[in-house]
Amino acid sequence: MPKVSVLTPVYGVEKYIRKCVNSLFCQTLQDVEYIFVDDCTPDGSVAVIKEVLDQFPNYRSKVNILHHLENRGSAAARNTALEAASGDYIIVIDGDDYIESTMLEDLYNMAIKENADIVISDYWIDYKNKIIYKKQFAPSVGMDCLKDLLNGKLHASTSNKLIAKKLFIENNIEHVEGVNVCEDMSILFRLFYYAKKVAYCPHAYLHYVQYNTSSYTKRLSERVRQNIISVVDLIYDFFINNNVRDKDLWQAFEYYKLTVKSILLISSGRKEREKYYTIYNDSVQHLNTHPGLAIYYKWIVRMASENNVVRLSSFLFLFNIIRRWIK
């Protein structure tokens, strides 16, 4: 049984997958299996994986390339990989990202040393013209991590987290098929809820690439926005079904709703945006105390909740120009 299973959904990443796979095969930890799931990618991503594998012939026994007969989305691809995984620990690395060579060894060793269900590390965000280091400061208790996840202090990604497979199995956790945006959030809130011990490694290994516009994680449409809303509903239903009474956890959920409202407003055109002016207005009373929402996002939410259409449109126009210039 391998120590770690690396799960990589493959769709639309031909330009980036070579760097990703090379970074996986150059890991210092040797007892690793690599599971790639071809979700009917329309490009040559799978051929590139095989080309890289030809350069690492000793890795053939460690690599499993699975194929979907039709495109089912990233959540289904992750579930297919998870079902096939046999490692003690799981990590998901998207095909357009890449990792530092000691990532798996360092996180695995910390997991064993701390007897941790989840190990969290810092990460890099790679833009076209710059790379930004992102610190995490993760608590050691799963429930506290869940609060920080909801209030925006923790990165909502599985790719900078090594997770014990038993956590998935014992709690019957899998991705929700069809939720292909915010799919990490849709599973992380449950993992943190059940995690007894979380460890933190204060080093960045993951390079979270933010310039691929064709892969799963970079699409933006009305369907995507509805996916984001559905995750809010998933969290709410989970809290109700598990009789969650922790006031701080519910407060963090209110913060998350405000974060989602800001995303919906920013990612919509003027006509589409109108339907989001009043969404989650019951949470606006918590806006000023939101610890993870930047001040300009708070302005956007405030203007929308007050139905100040002219100011909001002008602000978003300038905001998007500045954001494109920065990146």
- Determine the longest span between alpha carbons in the chain, in angstroms: 62
pLDDT in tens, the chain (327 residues): 899 999 999 999 999 999 999 999 999 999 999 999 999 999 999 999 999 999 999 999 999 999 999 999 999 999 999 999 999 999 999 999 999 999 999 999 999 999 999 999 999 999 888 999 999 989 999 999 999 999 999 999 999 999 999 999 999 999 998 888 788 999 999 999 999 999 999 999 999 998 754 443 333 578 888 999 999 999 999 999 999 999 999 999 999 999 999 999 988 887 888 889 999 999 999 999 999 999 989 998 998 888 887 778 777 777 666 555 555
**Any idea how long the chain is?**
327
- Taking the C-alpha atoms of residue 61 and residue 27, their distance in angstroms, rounded to an integer, is 16
Distance, in Å, from the CA atom of 269 to the CA atom of 212, rounded to the nearest integer, reads 21
Residue with tokens 């899998």: 174
Distance CA 162, CA 264 (A): 30
Q: Are 140 and 199 in contact (CB under 8 A)?
A: yes
Task: Give the residue extent of every domain in the chain.
Answer: 4-215, 245-326
Q: What is the pLDDT of residue 26?
A: 98
Which pLDDT value is given to residue 19? 97
φ, ψ of residue 90 in degrees (nearest 5): -120, 140
Cβ partners under 8 Å of residue 54, min gap 6 = none
Closest CA to 75 of 103, 30, 113, 37: 37
* Topology (CATH level 3) of domain 4-215: Spore Coat Polysaccharide Biosynthesis Protein SpsA; Chain A (3.90.550)
What was the pLDDT predicted at 320?
A: 65
The pLDDT of residue 319 is 67
Neighbours of 275 (CB within 10 A): 12
| Beta carbons of 175 and 37 less than 8 angstroms apart | no
List beta partners, residue 302.
none
pLDDT at res. 314: 79
pLDDT of residue 312: 81
